[in-house]
Amino acid sequence: MKNIKIPHSDLNVSEISLGCMRIASLSTQAIATLIHTTLEEGINFFDHADIYGGGQSEAKFAEAISMNARLREQMILQTKCGIRPGYFDFSKEHILEAVDGSLQRLRTEYVDVLLLHRPDALVEPEEVAEAFSTLQKSGKVKYFGVSNQNPMQIELLRKFVQQPILFNQLQLSIPFTGMIDAGINVNMKVDGSVDRDGSILDYCRLHDITIQPWSPFQYGFFEGAFLDNPKFPELNQILTAIASARGVTNTAIAIAWLLRHPARMQPIIGTTNPQRVKDSCQASNVALTRQEWYEIYRAAGNKLP
């Protein structure tokens, strides 16, 4: 597994991370197997959120491996906060309270990264800044980021917070490429030319913000996986052909397609299947050509100008 250095930090992270949203429904033994397989494959980055499983994903994660100092040193833990039942909350009070809850459930004294989970329309960036500084000074959080935010929302935060915004979690997969489409179809009167994200891809590259693609195997907003799905015959034919030629699985090629982008993204795989973790990690050793990348892009139904 290759590692990437996150700009403006001391973080040296695996270029693929494991998302822990779905682990709450697993047995303790299944979670332990998943986590240890992930570590053995070279992934050191684990993504959590206080709402995953109602907090149980964090709690069962720590319980399954009997979290201790030796294991904690091998891991980079990221969690998110800000989503509450029926609303979003970036208030200082909630951020501080949420982090304390995550620390307790994860059985750790600190998390490496805290993300604000989706935008809060009522955000008061001064309060976010106070919360971030309090958490950093106390040693409870080392670094910070956001999820699903556009350039102006990040700029508003950057005006007040002292810490750099290191990450932005955004949905991105081969069939879900709005942020890429808009950059290809500039000055065109086609659906792909619609910029729904404020050029977030280029913005993150300009400001050294690492994009963490979530749902890399999904084709919609939790609508299902596209791999081996009869809805995507041409895409799966191309993925299978390239995978066969490279001696890996189509899972690996789906992740390799994201890793090929020069933005140096860090995909978050949300699988609970240890074999799928192993298959995904094969992507770290696959370097797709420019021609292959565009071939896959077109096979997903995209047309070039």
**C-alpha closest to that of 277 among 12, 20, 8:** 20
Domains, in order of start, for the chain: 3-299 (3.20.20.100)
Residue 294 CA, chain-centre distance (Å), reads 23
pLDDT for the residue 222? 77
Q: What is the CA radius of gyration of the chain?
A: 19
Nearest Cα neighbor of 267 from 2, 7, 21, 19 is: 19
Do 119 and 153 meet the contact criterion of CB atoms below 8 Å apart?
yes
Is the torsion defined by CA of 300, 186, 171, 191 positive or negative?
negative
Answer yes or no: are the C-beta atoms of 170 and 202 closer than 8 Å. no
pLDDT in tens, the chain (305 residues): 999 999 999 999 999 999 999 999 999 999 999 999 999 999 999 999 999 999 999 999 999 999 999 999 999 999 999 999 999 999 999 999 999 999 999 999 999 999 999 999 999 999 999 999 999 999 999 999 999 999 999 999 999 999 999 999 999 999 999 999 999 999 999 999 999 999 999 999 999 999 999 999 999 887 899 999 999 999 999 999 999 999 999 999 999 999 999 999 999 999 999 999 999 999 999 999 999 999 999 999 999 99
Amino acid making up residue 264: R
Q: Please tell me what DSSP assigns to residue 19.
A: E
CA separation for the pair 76, 78 (Å, rounded): 7
pLDDT tens digits for range 139-183: 999 999 999 999 999 999 999 999 999 999 999 999 999 999 999
Grouping H, G, I as helix, E, B as strand and the rest as coil, residue 269 is strand
Query: What pairing do the DSSP bridges indicate for beta strands 210-214 and 165-171?
Result: parallel
How far apart are the C-alpha atoms of 221 and 233, rounded to whole Å? 20
Q: What angle do CA 86, 89, 91 make, to 5 degrees?
A: 155
> What is the predicted pLDDT for the residue at 223?
83
